Chain A
């Protein structure tokens, strides 16, 4: 079989240690190989994973997050991963504030309530922070999910289509948050094409047909 291994190794600076990696990873869902022997290493900075719907971007992120088992290959990811899927992962019945507090407490983030309030303010949810999430609009829930970027600082951040359902202002907030992110964090963003985030990316990969190939690297 032809080897179609794509690696970020050749693009990153020689001393850049990968913070998270999938190696030779194959993921099979419903008896179909969604990803075939992919290598994906994440170094510090922003990496963009680009591809059409159904290409396997989401599966790659879920494999990194440990949500789907690998049929072959290995996964090497530190425990402090923040995974934001294409749905907001907020529990109905709780408010946005309570959801954020649960996630933060679960990670043992300590009791600074002010940080949650600040995050909610920043993402424009000041007035709606104490409404149960099922009564919020899709865009508001999306903002609440993204507020976790502020309340749960993690080494590895995985964002699946983060611009979906965001209005212009919220998209600006997200771009700003990504620009301001600590340079030590590895951030992986999956999108089906978004010019602004491409401009921010240190590395860009194309996903298609079960494979991951490097598209370009910013000098």
Chain B
């Protein structure tokens, strides 16, 4: 099973390398938002406690939606999806493999977006290790729901509107936890950062297990 999941993730990563438009779109989106924020509200407001982390997580969520939608568009282009679903164990491997691959892309987006924020807003991070861990957990916690929603709206015309409507309320806890964890890490409040990071981890585990249980049957 793990071998098959890795094969799907590897196939995705390889295709992403040759057709980087989805990843480039997500990174551009992230970078533009980060830069726009300080231009629109001014560097003083942008540096206020919690503002930059909140923007970071909201932007990352939309980057995840862009990446996942692009990934499934490619699957539909030549009915490649059917080819995988018809393989023995293909359904389960497809969902899990997509989670891995999209988490990988998001890690790149998060890294670039985060670095841009650090540089342009001149943020002093008190606990860089905690910040990195919180960000990594968040990157892993977003795809289960985002991929689920993209799968559920596959081949529907209104999917561009439906995915955010379905994903935002479910991911609100992750966004809240991520924002608070990163804010605490920047401010140097270690217990708070750890507590929120554990919460992201818990949410991530719940939704991953739930997704792996019920989503594969719904892929069509």
A binding-site residues for B, Cβ under 8 Å: 62, 65-68, 79-83, 85, 87-94, 98, 102-103, 105-108, 132-134, 141
Contacts and interface: CB of A to CB of B under 8 A. Distances in A.
A82 B84 CA distance: 11
Nearest to A80: B88
Nearest to B85: A67
B88 A92 contact: no
A89 B85 CA distance: 11
Interface in B1-51: 3-4, 7-8, 11, 14-19
Contacts of B86: 65-67, 81-83
Contacts of B84: 106
Contacts of B80: 89-92
Contacts, number: 81
Given A67-B86, A85-B82, A91 B75 contact: yes
Contacts of A81: 86, 88
Per DSSP, are chain B's interface residues mostly helix, strand or loop, or mixed? Answer: helix
B88 to A, nearest CB: 4
A106 B78 contact: no
Indicate the member of B3, B75, B79, B220 with the most A CB atoms within 10 Å.
B79
B14 A83 contact: no
A93 B15 contact: yes
A69 to B, nearest CB: 8
A68 B78 CA distance: 18
Interface of B: 3-4, 7-8, 11, 14-19, 74-75, 77-80, 82-88, 90, 93, 220
9 contacts: A62-B82, A80-B88, A83-B83, A88-B78, A90-B78, A91-B80, A93-B15, A93-B19, A141-B78
Given A67-B86, A79-B88, A93 B16 contact: yes
Nearest to A78: B88
A169 to B, nearest CB: 22
Q: Is the interface of A mostly helix, strand, loop or mixed?
A: loop
Given A67-B82, A85-B79, A132-B18, A92 B87 contact: no
A83 B88 CA distance: 11
Contact of A92 (B8, B17, B74, B83): B74
Contacts of B82: 62, 65, 67, 83, 85, 87, 89
> What are the 10 closest A-B residue pairs judged by CB atoms, nearest first?
A93-B15, A89-B83, A79-B88, A87-B79, A83-B86, A93-B19, A91-B80, A93-B18, A65-B86, A102-B11
Among B3, B18, B77, B80, residue most surrounded by chain A Cβ atoms (within 10 Å): B80
B77 A106 contact: no
A83 B87 CA distance: 8
A110 B90 CA distance: 18
B79 A91 contact: no
A193 to B, nearest CB: 23
B18 A94 contact: yes
B77 A92 contact: yes
Nearest to A86: B79
A106 B75 contact: no
A105 B7 contact: yes
Nearest to B19: A93
A91 B87 contact: no
